[in-house]
Every structure is written in structure tokens, then in C-alpha cells.
Amino acid sequence: MLDPDHPLREELVRPSKIDNALHEALWHLETLEMYYRTTPPLVALHGEGYLALTAACRRFAALGAPAAPPTPAPAPQLEGAEAPPRLRDQVGLQQAVWLTVQRLEPCTNAQVKAALGEKRQVIHQALQALVKKGKIVKEGETYRVVEASN
């Protein structure tokens, strides 16, 4: 929680300010992504800025994302007890697949399927979507998370 005596408290807690800042940051990131995809040699001239942005994005992402997928809880022993939610139900399919690939890398579709308990085709589609987004790469039969150099 933000300290009530923080000098920027009133500016920081207004939802419209936060929404505007997030919207603007996302727009800038998408613009930079477009430049990176279309003109990599020009982007390479700004290496230090790219590394600083990558570090800032990782720090920001770490604020809200678990470092590793939560460990599955043991099966309930009591009759009628509700089973704990699956990772997919907690963070969504693609995020669950991404976290699992990160944990197991390098790994195959079958290993991700076994870890998440999903159908092979569902995992395959999520992996393909993550490859298309540039979040993971496929090397032969294995997948790994894309890591930008620091």
C-alpha cells in the first residue's frame, strides 16, 4: 500500500492516471516492437537503451507475476472437498504454458502437456501462439523461453 504521506500519493492513486500511464506505455512498447521487427539494424544502434528498457520491463513484470508456477497442492483427503484451482485457471492457458516452459526448459510439447494435464492439441496451439508472439522459441522438438540479454 502506498504511504499516506507519499508526496505523489494523490497523483498516483487516481485510476485515470494509472490507466493513462499504462495505455501510453503499452503504445510506446508496441511502437518499439514494430521498429525492432521491421528495422533491426537501426534498433541495434540503440543497444544501451534497449537493455535499460528490457531491465525495466522485467522489474515491472516481476511485481505482479509469480517467479515460478505455484506447486500443485496435494489431492484433497476429505470427501466433498473442493480441489485446488489448476494453474491454467489461475493465470490463463498461455501464461500457464509460458511458466511451465520456463520451469522445464528445454522441454517438449509432451512434457508441458504432462505438467499441466491438458490435451496435447490445446498445449500445441498455446505453444504456437507463444512462438508467434516471440515469447518462446522452438528448437527442433523442444521449446524454451526467449530471454533478452542483460
The domains of the chain are located at 9-64, 87-145
For 41-77, what is each residue's pLDDT tens digit? 776 777 777 778 877 877 877 777 655 555 665 555 5
Mean pLDDT of the chain: 76
State the DSSP string of 54-115.
Answer: HHHHHHHHHHHS-SSPPPPPPPP-STTPPPPPPHHHHH-HHHHHHHHHHHH-SEEHHHHHHH
Question: How far apart are alpha carbons 49 and 98 in whole angstroms?
Answer: 26
For 6-39, what is each residue's pLDDT tens digit? 776 666 666 667 777 777 888 888 887 777 777 7
What band does 128 get if pLDDT is binned at 50, 70 and 90? Answer: very high
Contacts 24+ apart (CB under 8 A), 138-147: 139/106, 141/108, 141/109, 142/105, 142/106, 142/107, 142/108, 143/101, 143/105, 143/106, 143/107, 143/108, 143/109, 143/112, 144/101, 144/105, 144/106, 144/107, 145/98, 145/101, 145/102, 145/105
**Which range (21-30, 81-90, 91-100, 118-127) has the least confidence?**
81-90
Look up the CATH architecture of domain 87-145: Orthogonal Bundle (1.10)
What does the angle CA 39 – CA 27 – CA 2 come to, to the nearest 5 degrees? 135
